[in-house]
Each structure stands twice: as structure tokens, then as C-alpha cells.
Structure 1
Amino acid sequence: MKLSAPMGYVKDTLHKHQTKLVPLMGLGRRPHGNLPPIPTADDLEPILKGKAKFDFNEHVADYMFWFLARDERWKRELFLGHGGYTMIYLPPDPETIPPAIPDYPAIREMPVFKHFDADSIWEATYLLGDSFREKSKQVFGKGLEEEPAFDGLTFIIPYWRARDFLNAEADEFAEWFTVFDVFIAESPDDSGILIAAKDDLDLILTEILQRMRQDGMPHPLYEVERKQD
């Protein structure tokens, strides 16, 4: 989820469920974008004197939360539709499969199992072993390697708009999709949802839309059809 001073429902929901969501912060980056510089004393002087307003977004990068909780449907129900939700689909990585916690009564009676969903936290911990994190920095962090914050970034997710694909070269496409297979993101700049994939998804998307029509699910195109009928 893209994080840029979240307010209202998004902020409240994030705070309410953060223990279960297990958020891990990384960087959201526009193609070839730079990290905002740390403000200098000269930058802050007019703000301190009341001659200029402080704009939070001018000094803070577009950070993103990776929710390590594995309940994808629940996460979508919480945040999808508020303009900042991104889903990526990765190739399977055996390093992310945790060994089972022994199901012994003596272990399950420990206080941690009574107060927390220890199994989910255990599963989330193993997601940190996914090669995605370092690979995302190699591919989407080009040009930032000398930034002081670069080594501390846990991952980098592209903050794409539709026009970024029109401006990209073929070799860029190929490299992007070594990190993930499918990228789906809410895109306020495009007034919709951006879907990008390594392989052709036309048949899959067509089948989904046909099922939506058959099940009477809402869709702008189908609403027009129903009114005409």
C-alpha cells in the first residue's frame, strides 16, 4: 500500500490492524525518480518565519507498506478502493515456506499463543527470506545506490502510471518482470486500476469479466447493458 501521510479511514484502519497486518516499510518510486533531499537550514528558515507553508510531501519520499500477513482477501477488503493499494504476484520461493510450529500442548499454552496469532507471525517472518526484496532494489533502485538511505531500504516498488509503459524501452520491460510476474495497482493518475503482467492475461481477464456478467456483479460496462435491456 502506498503511504503518503495517510489520513481518515486508511490511517485508522492501519493503526487498528497493524499487529495482524505486520507492515514492513519500503520505497515507492516513480521511474528514475530521486529521493527528496533533506531540508537545509535555508529551506526551513521561511517556514519557521511563517513566510512559507511546510509541505510534508516535498520532503518525504513515497513509502509503501508491504503487509506480511498472508490473508490477501482480508487485506483487499480493508484497503482496496482508497487509491493506494498495490498487489504483486511473485514466482514461488521455497525460502518463504516456514516449518510448522510443533503442535504440542506445552507450546500452545504459552502466553504468546493466547495473545497473538503466532502461526501467522511465524509465516510472515519467513516472507522476509524472499529474494524479491534484494532483486527489487537492484532493478528499481538504479541511480539511488549512493543515497545514504539506500542500504536501509527493505524493498522498492515502482509507482507506475500508464504512460510510463508507453515511454519504456523493451529491455526495461524485460528487466521489470524479473522481479514479479503480475503487477496490479490502483492508479489515481489514470483514474482506474493498472494491470501489467509478464505473460498475456487477456484470456484470463475475459473469463473473469464473463463470470462477472453471468453473476450479475457490478461493472460500468454491464450497468449500461442492463439499462439498455
Structure 2
Amino acid sequence: MDIYMKTRKLRADERLPLYQRLREEIQARISSGEWKPDTPIPTEAELTQEYGVAVGTVRKAVDTLVSDGLLQRNQGRGTFVRRPDFESSFLRFFRQTNAAGERIIPEGQVLERRTIVPPEYVSIALGLSAQAEAVYLKRIRRIEGVPMLCEDIWLPYARFHALADIPLQAFGNLLYPFYEQECGQMIAAARESLRVSCADQQTASALEIPQGSPVVIIDRVAQGYDHSPLEYRRSRGGASTFHYQIDIS
């Protein structure tokens, strides 16, 4: 990895502590795609030389990013940009197994894609103006042909316009790597909320369950490495496949 010969200036607010300014600089470089998920960032020695700061300052900045889940230390290999495992969320909540009882990730299929002005609650969550457009995706997820989840997904058009003309069959089974590949947008974190409701006609048809059946609804707002909201996703699954477990000690 190259060591810069010139000292790079920290661009963050000079009123902030030095380690926090360095932290924001590292985060900005991750957000821009300069340092990608699953790849190592420069060593402490390299960052010390590059920014002209003490090694303790570098270590503290990196420590905060590790605590926040953006970076991950791998013993003997270095510090890497962390790629979160978002699929584990659904594996926690839904019994996703095949006929042999093995837990598997459902196959996803995008059924519909439109450019629309999203509902108000979606616009607010994504930080969009009232008339700003979003790319809308309607998606179904199946296990061995059986529908498990139906999803409504909204993405800010300004960041995801490249998806507006891509053939539906080109969308992969996992959307987050696809966002990164086609739009350069990397998902770093997400917040989810759960509630229980009854299946309306559209949901019942998609999940092949009786109308009025109980369903679990998971609303997710996913963010980039710069904390900007990038995706609003509403997933619905039959309550009969839902389970919740927590270990308390």
C-alpha cells in the first residue's frame, strides 16, 4: 500500500478533537468508495504519516469506527472496511428452511420497477423533498417456489437512477451488492422496526395465504457509510413462519 509523501489536510471542522476529524475523514473516504467493503485500510503507520498526526490519534479514530461497526480488525491481517450481513436479520425472524430442514436464503425476484413520487412517510425517512422521485421495486422472495416474503422498496432516484432502465431479470438475488455494482452506493447500516397486521388482498395474493391472515411487517431504513438514508424497505411475511428468540443473561 503506497505511503503518501505529502501530508494530507483534515477537512473536518477544526473545532472538533483531532481524532474525531480524522475519524470523519476516514469515514468520508469509505463513503466515497475509495476504500471498499472487505478491503483493508492503510496501516496506523501509513495514516500517521499521511495525516501528520500521532499514532495515538489514529488509533483512537480507528477504535471509534470499529465500535460503530464500520471497520473490523482481523488479527494478523489488518483493519478492514466491514460489510454487514443484512441477510441475518431475516434469518433471525423467519423460519427459512427447505424440505430437508436446512436454513437457506430465499431467492429474490424483482417483479416490478417504476420511477414514482413515494408515499410521504417514505420521503420523510429518505430525506427527500415532497416531489422528489424514487425508484420503486416490488419484490418477492421464495424458498423452493413457495413465497416467504413480499417487499416494497424505495430508493432515491438521484442516487439510483441507473436502476431505472436495467432489465428486471438482471437484478440479483442479493440487492445490496447489486446497488454497489450498478450505482456505487454501499449500504453500511440499517434500522428495523417490526409490527403485526392482517394481510390485505394484495399481500395475501403475493404470499398465497388467506386474506386477513396475520402477517409480520418489517420496515427497514438502510444507510450509507456517510449515514445518509439510501433505502426504505417494507417486508411482509406470514406470521406462521415468524419466530423470535433472545438470550438474556
Q: Place the TM-score, normalised by the shorter chain, in its bin.
A: under 0.3
Q: State TM-score, norm by structure 1.
A: 0.25
Instruction: Please identify which structure carries the higher helix content.
Output: 1
Instruction: Please identify which structure carries the higher strand content.
Output: 2
Q: State TM-score, norm by structure 2.
A: 0.24
